[in-house]
Amino acid sequence: MENDLVHELGYIALATRLKRISDKLTYSTRLMYKKLDIDIEPNWYLVLILIKETPNISVMEVAKNLGFTHQSVITMANKMRDNGYLKISKDINDKRRTIFNLTIKSIEKLPQIEEVWKTGKKVIYELLNGDTAITKHLEILESNLDQISFGERIINKLNQY
């Protein structure tokens, strides 16, 4: 990665840099699961522990808890069901709601997956050279973005002159 303009620009091309790192992590995780012969995808763990903690949780609740759109949750959940990790059913009391529950397969596989995630936690700590201050920076960035978006802020600033 010599001569990397994005790198050189520092925080200017922040979006591109964040995406690049995130992609690297995700692709690598996917590959790791394959090598370990676990038929699971990167974000499934989050969904699994959420359902484990709250059985009968709905699409919208999962979306809210994980910060995804409900459409993303549906796509993920359908794949998980196809792979035998999820039971998807309709709420009897509210026919609009779709609810999730773990299957025997996912209950059986959870300990192994949790082991991988515990190790992943250590690895990320290592990758950050033991300094987790980055989460504070991300927190600030996210909460500022939640108030006024990047684009709006630029437009506001441009209009000042």
- The least distance separating DNA from the CB of residue 78, rounded to whole angstroms, comes to 7
Q: Give which of 18, 20, 87, 83 is closest to 56, Cα–Cα.
A: 87
Binding to DNA by residue 80, rule CB under 7 A?
no
**Pick from DNA, a second copy, none: which does 107 bind, CB < 5 to 8 A by kind?**
none
Cβ(91)–Cβ(98) below 8 Å: yes
Site for DNA in 116-155 (CB under 7 A): none
Partner whose binding site includes residue 151, from a second copy, DNA, none (CB under 5 to 8 Å by kind):
a second copy
Q: Minimal distance in Å, beta carbon 130 to DNA?
A: 26
Please say whether the beta carbons of 4 and 13 come within 8 A: no
Is 102 among the residues that bind DNA (CB under 7 A)?
Answer: no
Please give the C-alpha separations between residue 66 and each of 9, 82, 87, 150, in angstroms, as whole numbers: 31, 21, 19, 22
User: Can residue 70 be called a binding residue for DNA (CB under 7 A)?
Assistant: yes
Residue with smaller CB distance to DNA, 92 or 104: 92
**Smallest separation, CB 53 to DNA (Å):** 17
The amino acid sitting at 44 is W
Partner whose footprint covers residue 114, from DNA, a second copy, none (CB < 5 to 8 Å by kind): none
* Measured distance CA(150)–CA(36) in Å, rounded: 40
Footprint on residues 12-41 left by DNA (CB under 7 A) = 16, 19-20, 23, 26-27, 30, 41
d(CA 94, CA 64): 18
State which residue, 7 or 90, has the beta carbon closest to a second copy: 7
Per DSSP, the residues of 31-90 read HHHHHTT----TTHHHHHHHHHHSTTEEHHHHHHHHT--HHHHHHHHHHHHHTTSEEEEE
Residues engaged in binding DNA (CB under 7 A):
16, 19-20, 23, 26-27, 30, 41-43, 58-61, 67-72, 74-76, 78, 93-99
